[in-house]
A = this chain, B = another copy of it.
């Protein structure tokens, strides 16, 4: 979706939006961290995010990778920066084409800074000289397919002595096809409002969004002043006076930017654009203080949609990847169409291979993980206690979760702990829900005034003996359907059809059923679920160690089991499990 349309929609709804800018980190570990951070910040529902352009070379590739990831896997509408620096026209075209194919629909068109080590900007061979040329290139090649943002300079452009010329150039860029303006940073709101007035005077009518740079440290502030020429003297003086007290600088900077934001909102801005410097905390705190984060963020569906328009109509997914949504998105990226309304026939042959997933590999920080999962686990009990700890919240990761335990699980946490204490190692679950309001805090989703439903679901690893107990007890519970399968695909089940386990009924709408248990997809998922024992857990220990051997043994012998209680009105899946545990214990 074009950002300009989102801006207009947000304006109509009378809300002040916010957006987050990031830059490509230099290391792969940095990129992984950034993704995690963006995911967390994504939960604040920014209107969009944008990623700066690595000036030429391999960092450009990285920008393309990151925007594709956030647009497609994190579900955030992502704008890609594109600059003319060191970019022959063909390369610009290639980058645009790749971005387009990856689902990107918004470009921030810039001339760019001079490359590192060069003091002034030079047009490269077969390149473009001005942002306006880039805008024209985009409009000529893609028509209206991209939304285009441009940069505005409330304090004037550092390299351009004439403020009036700046605004005239800006008008030309807008006339050439830019949809909206993001401004460079400033710390004096009058500077911004004068800039807006001057833009309006010359006939620029599009939205002008102020760029906000939180002050995180003295060092970063010094850097800022290099390209922001009208930092009020008062601020500089104050910061210089406390420059050796990091905490004081941070606190002063926070209050300063908070007041700036408040003044901007009072002045009627449509939104705030944050230069996050890839940092999470300050921006989150600012938004909280500004009271801009909706108390309860309503969910369209129980899972977050991808921002790729190709997946716009997607509204059904198997429950198995609920805790690994990025893996699901990546493994289904090549699909031509996405299930809508009905999951329907198995699509398993079309799932991407595990081996093709670049993040499906050994984790990078064995130390961090050993702290959570044990320095050298030696028994099943050691492993079991990791699962118990995760449910209890004393550790915040196990290999089968992209993030922490979902908030809706808190209602069944004690039951999950009990299961894990008895050797049923849970990796996915949801409580039974019978006609909860769509606005309910934990389980609600979808349009207002509707009702949502869930069938109780538990997925876990268990050894053969525990599985046997389950198979016996299941005969007395006609409402229970289940699938069990081990690594070499020995399997048991009493249901070969697709089972909707989450659905909603809304005024004036068709029924939505966003999650299903699909036997065919379960077989695909189980490979991923089993592989995680080795790639994410065993791999942090030496290959010949007892810990490695223990985990490898579990990998080879456990069953992955999913259980659905189809009686969403009165069923008690925990009564079922208690019987299973009793049966197992009595043997």
Contact = CB atoms under 8 A, between A and B. Distances in A.
Interface of A: 340-344, 435, 449, 451, 453, 478-479, 481, 495, 497-500, 503, 505-511, 513, 516, 564, 566, 568-569
A343 B512 CA distance: 12
A497 B508 contact: yes
Contacts of A566: 449, 506-508
Contact of A499 (B478, B499, B503, B508): B508
Nearest to A498: B510
A74 to B, nearest CB: 27
A479 B341 contact: no
Contacts of A510: 342-343, 497-500, 513, 516
A278 to B, nearest CB: 41
A509 B505 contact: no
Nearest to A480: B507
Q: Which of A341, A453, A508, A568 has the most CB of B within 10 A?
A: A508
A479 B449 contact: yes
Given A341-B342, A435-B569, 15 more contacts: A340-B341, A341-B344, A342-B342, A342-B510, A343-B510, A449-B478, A453-B505, A481-B508, A495-B507, A495-B508, A497-B508, A503-B505, A506-B566, A508-B564, A510-B513
25 contacts: A340-B342, A341-B341, A341-B342, A342-B342, A342-B510, A343-B510, A449-B479, A453-B505, A479-B507, A495-B507, A497-B508, A497-B510, A499-B509, A499-B510, A500-B505, A500-B509, A500-B510, A500-B511, A503-B505, A503-B511, A506-B566, A507-B566, A508-B566, A510-B513, A510-B516
A564 B508 CA distance: 8
B513 A511 contact: yes
Contacts of A498: 509-510
Q: Which of A341, A453, A481, A568 has the most CB of B within 10 A?
A: A341
Contacts of A481: 507-508
A341 B512 CA distance: 10
Contacts of A449: 478-479, 566
A453 B451 CA distance: 12
Contacts of A343: 510
